[in-house]
Structure 1
Amino acid sequence: MLKSKKWICVFCGSADGASPAYLETARCLGRLIAGQGHGLVYGGATVGAMGAVADAALGTGGEVVGVIPDVIMDREIGHTGLTELHVVRTMHERKALLAERADAFVALPGGYGTLDEFIEILTWAQLRIHAKPCVFVNVGGYYDGLLAFFDRAVAEGFIKAENRGLILVAKDAAEAVGIIERAWNLREEAPAHDARLDELVK
């Protein structure tokens, strides 16, 4: 049983995406995060999958914290209906605050920004700066090519095999939340346990 409120950071696109499955997965994730009593931390925008995940969490009675750079806020896409909205100066400050507030990270389908944010979080995990679960939601095989690239990087000696295990993969929102909750419970029940996170998806 989780002892205190946990926060899940969701990285996702500011676009809707070509398939309706992308927005529906974002909405489902927002509902699940709030419905399970967790908080949502995200990039603070109203548009695309970002707006969908936030609105779904809010609509389910959840707490949502947004972090957005002022240059984006000035374009009038900042979400003003959140529990908290932090307006920062730079993208670097945004990433740092998102990482600080979160207990886990999820990447939904997205573009350059999503990958930039999530890959940096994975790099910090590789450097043992944090030990928070990091989950790709591979909607319709969206991340198949990227996951194959990571496997190639292992084969070519650029990523250690044990660090490849930091990358968790879920097929949908429900599986992603389940993986995260099992990781949290594992750490609370046995903080010294050193099991690889990829065991959680077996």
Structure 2
Amino acid sequence: MTDEDWAGWHDAYDVPGSPLERRLQVVRKWIAAALDDGATRVVSLCAGQGRDLLPVLAAHPGRDRVRARLVELDERNVAAARRSAPPGVEVVGGDAALLGAYAGAVPADLVLVCGVFGNVSDADVRRTVGLLPQLCAPGATVVWTRNRREPDLVPRICGWFEDGGFERVEVEGDDGYGVGVHRYAGPPVALEAGERMFTFR
């Protein structure tokens, strides 16, 4: 964990037209699409205040069927997410980088990795992508984000996903942000609870 103000970081979501606000709308669109397709088990890594998932879930007709686990380390963000979480959503205060944080909630149909890849090393991005099948049910959707500043890592991230058994669904964004959507096309993979995916810089 760094000295970043991770609660204040969310303020940019409220600025119309900001890269984070535009990114949020795209992420919500793909969450809604996954729920429309029948996703009922959801996990969110470094979930923050849950601003991507929770409003979409609250408005979705299938919300009562969904079971979700949001994992977040910042206590203020955990408290904010818990205030907004409907029944069926568990907000866990803990280290989202540890695969063991998802025991009992995976394999999931929808995995959210938003706000992670821009805050870890390139090697940890690649490692995380390689371990994500452990969180995924066959056919699961992974929605991830990464800024598009140079050197733009998004094309390489797509390659790592596709080398790891994922199929590209879409990549959206502009110079400010990127949103990737991949579908897991591989077999079930057992959860190695002691493994760490990444360390925040």
TM-score (norm 2): 0.50
SS at match of 1:29: helix
Aligned to 2:58: 58
Question: Going by fraction, where is helix more abundant, 1 or 2?
Answer: 1
What is the alpha-carbon distance in structure 2 between the residues aligned to residue 60 and residue 116 of structure 1? 36
SS at match of 2:152: helix
Aligned to 2:32: 31
Of residues 77, 82, 85, the one that matches 1:79 is 82
Supply the AA of the counterpart residue of 1:165: D
Aligned: 1:165 with 2:163: yes
Alignment size in residue pairs:
157
Equivalences for residues 45-194 of structure 1 within 5 A: 45=47, 47=49, 50-61=50-61, 62=63, 63-69=66-72, 71-72=74-75, 76-80=79-83, 81-82=85-86, 83-93=88-98, 95-98=99-102, 101=106, 102-103=108-109, 105-108=111-114, 111-112=118-119, 119-124=126-131, 135=142, 145-147=152-154, 165-166=163-164, 169=168, 170-172=170-172, 176=181, 179-180=182-183, 183=185
Tell me the percent identity: 9
Aligned Cα RMSD in Å? 4.9
SS at match of 2:43: strand
Structure 1 residues 135 and 117: alpha-carbon distance in aligned structure 2, compared to 1, 3 A threshold: farther
Between stretches 131-140 and 84-93, larger displacement belongs to: 131-140
What is the alpha-carbon distance in structure 1 between the residues aligned to residue 144 and residue 151 of structure 2? 11
Structure 2: 5+ residue stretches without partners: 1-8, 174-178, 189-201
Structure 1 residues 163 and 55: alpha-carbon distance in aligned structure 2, compared to 1, 3 A threshold: closer
What is the alpha-carbon distance in structure 2 between the residues aligned to residue 130 and residue 52 of structure 1? 19
TM-score (norm 1): 0.50
SS at match of 1:97: helix
Structure 1 residues 44 and 85: alpha-carbon distance in aligned structure 2, compared to 1, 3 A threshold: farther
Question: Going by fraction, where is strand more abundant, 1 or 2?
Answer: 2
